[in-house]
Amino acid sequence: MTSPSPDESGREPSRPQEPQIRDRGGQQPDDGSWHPLEPLPAQDFWQVLYSRRSIRRFTDQAVPRDLIDQVMHAGIWAPSSCNYQMWDLVAVDDPERNARLAQLSAQMGNAPVNIIVAYGRDFSEENYANIQSASALIQNMSLAAEALGLGTFWITQMGDAQAVRDLVGLPLDRRVVAVLALGYAKIRPKRGPKRRPLAQVTHYNHYAGRPIPSSVDPEAWEPDLLAIYQRARVLNGLRHNKPRPWERRALETALQTMIPEIPRDLEEGATPRWLDVLPCTGILTEALSQKRRAYHFDVVERSQEVARWCADRVYPKGRALAWPTAGPDFPEPPAESFDLVSCLFRLEGLRADDRRNLWRAMAEWVRPGGLLWVGFVNQRSFHGWTESMRARRGGPQGVEYVLSPDPNVGPFQALASETIETEAAQAGWQLRDRLGFQAAPEPDELAFRTRNFSPTKGKLVRGGARFAGGLLRPLQASRGRFQFRLFEKER
């Protein structure tokens, strides 16, 4: 656009203005003395701070634009690196455009408003100054929304960030950092999920704690830190993460093939007993208990809270039992009292010594002639390839469940079949059955793993993987990513 030339009086002619319904601050000094909403409702700061919650369900009620403006105005009063304020916000309140955003990620399909937050792409990445500044703005907006009786949800899982940018017309120079969903809450959690205690996470002058490792290497994890971490995971809400469909399919097929509805040699009238070992979130325990209703389920875990949480997920409620450390109200599983013990995708998180102790403990818990069902991720499979792909793309890209975990869900190292079978034999277990699944990623996993790729690259990778998958399918017994073994204890 050419700039308008001065008129005869020497004044700049007024620029063609977009029709303005009301003043959005264009004529006002933005020194904090003016804000879109007048007067601002009085709210107690601490009340707002502690009662803000992430809202996952919104009503359809539209949000008036002066409230959206007020939220964004609170945002731009956040600190920014060098005060460069290289942020740009696009509030999408047009249902049709929001529907297109929702196609990129279901998380953008919940609220009547999605505020796209972008920051100067190449602005100092020193210590992520761009991301930090944008985050300060987002948090200001979240608190302002709470003060105005609105709810927010901070979205990083937006699917293809470039597609989001294109959809709202932001230039390439702007990086979409996050999206803040905004609206009136339909469901509002009564209380916030628990926080780690202040004394555990804060220090004066010198760090005096024991950090929870951020490594996937089981050797880096002291067993008590693992117990603390899992307790935090379960109690703080990571329990909401669901296994991916391809993980579930492998498990369900193995269950159907390997585990009978009731044990073959069960005494008449007896209730078969199943012990699920280290279930952590209990999602799989619950699923198994629904598919094998004849069994009574108990669970064994590292902390009483986690064990109780999982044992309460089955019907009738199971016993919460302890490994490796029992306490007065938290007993070890009684010896020889289970028909079946399952340990699904948990040996990968243990140090070699702990693994050997667990094999022996499981042999104690099961009755003579009883079964041990083990599931593990195969070191000699494409698992390593998906992990390196994730690493190359800059760390965690969305939290996944235990069968293909992100580094932020605890220790996890795929195991070789030989390791599993040798260690089991050393603890006295006899191998009865072997199964392996998915020597190559299934179509839904492939679509998921390539969801942030450009269309051309995605097509190429998916095509190549499908071709390799066809070649590898006959090898799934040995090269399948998900491996299952059934062992029997000597009679």
Ligand X SMILES: Cc1cc2nc3c(=O)[nH]c(=O)nc-3n(C[C@H](O)[C@H](O)[C@H](O)COP(=O)(O)O)c2cc1C
Question: Minimum distance between the CB of residue 138 and ligand X, rounded to whole angstroms?
Answer: 8
How far is C-alpha 412 from the chain's CA centre? 15
Question: Minimum distance between the CB of residue 409 and ligand X, rounded to whole angstroms?
Answer: 14
- Cross-strand partners of 151: 183
- Cross-strand partners of 182: 113, 152
Chosen residue from 237, 334, 384, 396 binding ligand X by CB under 6 A: 237
- Check binding of 78 to ligand X (CB under 6 A): no
- Check binding of 95 to ligand X (CB under 6 A): no
Chosen residue from 28, 156, 215, 454 binding ligand X by CB under 6 A: 156
Residues, the chain:
491
CA distances from 441 to 102, 447, 484 (A): 26, 9, 17
- Residues 116 to 155 in contact with ligand X, rule: CB under 6 A: 154
Question: Minimum distance between the CB of residue 198 and ligand X, rounded to whole angstroms?
Answer: 16
- Check binding of 355 to ligand X (CB under 6 A): no
Query: Which residue's CB is nearer to ligand X, number 194 or number 210?
Result: 194
Rounded distance, CA 204 to CA 463, Å? 55
Q: What are phi and psi of 420, to 5 degrees?
A: -60, -50
- Check binding of 200 to ligand X (CB under 6 A): no
Question: Minimum distance between the CB of residue 400 and ligand X, rounded to whole angstroms?
Answer: 12
How far is C-alpha 87 from the chain's CA centre? 27
Rounded distance, CA 76 to CA 71, Å? 9
| Side chain identity, residue 447 | A
Question: Which listed range, 50-58, 143-151, 317-325, 434-442, lies at the site for ligand X (CB under 6 A)?
Answer: 50-58
- Residues 28 to 47 in contact with ligand X, rule: CB under 6 A: none
Question: Which listed range, 48-56, 111-119, 302-310, 444-452, lies at the site for ligand X (CB under 6 A)?
Answer: 48-56
Chosen residue from 13, 79, 149, 192 binding ligand X by CB under 6 A: 192
- Check binding of 53 to ligand X (CB under 6 A): yes
Strands 429-437 and 366-377: unpaired
To which H or E segment does residue 70 belong?
Answer: helix 65-75
CA atoms within 13 A on the CB side of 61: 13
- Check binding of 157 to ligand X (CB under 6 A): yes
Strands 174-183 and 151-155: antiparallel
Residues that bind ligand X (CB under 6 A): 53-54, 56, 154, 156-157, 192-193, 237
